[in-house]
Structure 1
Amino acid sequence: MSAATTSSSSASTGSAIAQLSVSARLAAGKGEAKRLRKSGQIPAIAYGKTLASTPIAVAPKEVITILKSEHGKNSVIRVQLSGAERLVMIRDYSYHPVRRELEHVDFVEVKLDEEIDVEIPLIATGKAEGVVKGGLLRQVYRTLPVRCRPDRIPLKIEVDVTPLELNGHIFTQHLKLDEGVSVRLPAEQTLIAVVAPEKDRSADEAAAAPGAAAAPAAAAAGGKAAAAPAKDAKAAAPAKDAKKK
């Protein structure tokens, strides 16, 4: 197996901090959730290392706008919580199973000087040399677990696969990331590879299997052995008839 040593990647970083209006939510339960939805809001919660779990209410349209933005779930959001301005990110959210309306959102507090873990899309660009020659491009990871500060979160990580030959691989260590951005995978973890077509691989694997070469020889030997008794039996038949005469 050969590894691509000329692969490159680009990570777009830096984004404007989104704004989100939140309001305190004192009550809980289905009744309160129904009341909030009638008023155009939904229940949410915010928490963090220095922020106690705080029930809040947000406008679902504003949250959806953030989710549909360039950074999506990885957007850094400025909110007013507990009388102070804080930065948060969307940790989780849920939709109604039938109406598909946003029902609840979890926010986690972040600090610009502290690293966080996020998932970033991995995009393969170009057409691999191995694919031109009949191979298949296999992308093992569609997203990558990345660690960086909130203000350095990449939009995506792009990898040029053009120089990748048949049986070539792109490993984590081949990625060229911006300063302060790291991928939380082993250095020799395969991210993208060019492999032989399945039918060719199956034939190669069968040929390489232990005893595969001996099987035809054994079958041929068995065929000769099976033919021998038949020949002897045919030769013995006239002798038996001769005896009867």
Structure 2
Amino acid sequence: MLQVHLDSTVRTVFGKGPMRQLRMREITPANLYSGGGEPISLQLDTAKLYKNLLFIHGRNAVVTLQVEGDSAGERHVIVQEIQKEPVSGHLVHVDFLEIDLQKSAKFKVPIEYVGTAKGVDLGGELHVLKETIQLKGCPLDVPDVIQVDITPLEQGGAGLTYGDLPIPANVEMLEKSNVTCVVVQ
């Protein structure tokens, strides 16, 4: 799984006017939620935050959040919600959710098909039926993407199933192993 580092500080101002002033100074307000505890109000540099959010967009990532002014200091979080200005696309607010790196969780991981199938070279048509897989495991054990080589697939063959995908040993697959992911017809 991807890992990203972000620096933040505890936010002490609240309300509509102060939030606008923060955004004008290129600072994005954020909240950190941690399993039923009191949320922590944060502020982050907009340019660095936007760059990192673009890097992890659509992927599973653990964000190491360095919180200046907090007794815990460094926290491991995932991005829970991103609020953007509808017209301009500027960041308005970000919510983070603290996670335990030792506890298993469910993640949806994309499947990347690599190569050109033999059946396609012979005039067949590749049909991708599944583009993601549901996995359960510790956040750092779950891969960012599952790559599978489709070169040996022939026309009219059985195709590849979830059971054929290379899943790490310490990660559990939550899908039925006999479901077809890709086939050449």
**TM-score, scaled relative to structure 2:** 0.83
Determine what percentage of the aligned residue pairs are the same residue: 28
CA shift, 1:165, in A, is 2.0
Q: Deviations over 1:11-59 (max 9, x none)?
A: xx5x5x4321222234444323212102221121111326432222222
Partner residue, 2:23? 37
> Aligned letter for 1:75?
A
Equivalent pairs, count: 181
- Tell me which moved more, 119-128 or 145-154: 145-154
Task: Please give the alpha-carbon distance, in whole angstroms, between the structure 1 residues aligned to 2:47 and 2:135.
Answer: 28
Contact 2:5 2:66 in 1 (8 A): no
Instruction: Choose which of 117, 133, 155 in structure 1 pairs with 2:106.
Output: 117
Contact 2:112 2:145 in 1 (8 A): yes
CA shift, 1:119, in A, is 2.9
Say yes or no: does 1:61 pair with 2:47.
yes
Instruction: Choose which of 155, 175, 181 in structure 2 pairs with 1:166.
Output: 155
Contact 1:129 1:163 in 2 (8 A): yes
Task: Please give the alpha-carbon distance, in whole angstroms, between the structure 1 residues aligned to 2:50 and 2:142.
Answer: 20
Instruction: Choose which of 108, 131, 138 in structure 1 pairs with 2:97.
Output: 108
Task: Please give the alpha-carbon distance, in whole angstroms, between the structure 1 residues aligned to 2:133 and 2:85.
Answer: 28
CA distance 1:29–1:143, change in 2 (3 Å)? farther
Q: Which has the higher helix share?
A: 1
Partner residue, 2:61? 75
CA shift, 1:179, in A, is 2.0
Instruction: Choose which of 13, 22, 34 in structure 1 pairs with 2:8.
Output: 22
Q: Who wins on radius of gyration, i.e. which is larger?
A: 1
Q: Which has the higher strand share?
A: 2
Structure 2 unmatched ranges of 5 or more:
none
Task: Please give the alpha-carbon distance, in whole angstroms, between the structure 2 residues aligned to 1:190 and 1:104.
Answer: 40
**TM-score, scaled relative to structure 1:** 0.65
| Alignment RMSD | 2.4
CA shift, 1:160, in A, is 0.9
Task: Please give the alpha-carbon distance, in whole angstroms, between the structure 1 residues aligned to 2:161 and 2:61.
Answer: 28
CA distance 1:20–1:132, change in 2 (3 Å)? same
Query: Aligned with 2:55: secondary structure?
Result: coil
Q: Which has the higher contact order (CA 8 A, sep 6+)?
A: 1
Contact 1:47 1:107 in 2 (8 A): yes
Contact 2:84 2:93 in 1 (8 A): yes
CA shift, 1:158, in A, is 0.7
Instruction: Choose which of 113, 120, 127 in structure 2 pairs with 1:131.
Output: 120
Task: Please give the alpha-carbon distance, in whole angstroms, between the structure 1 residues aligned to 2:113 and 2:162.
Answer: 14
> Aligned letter for 1:66?
N
Partner residue, 1:178? 168
Partner residue, 1:193? 183
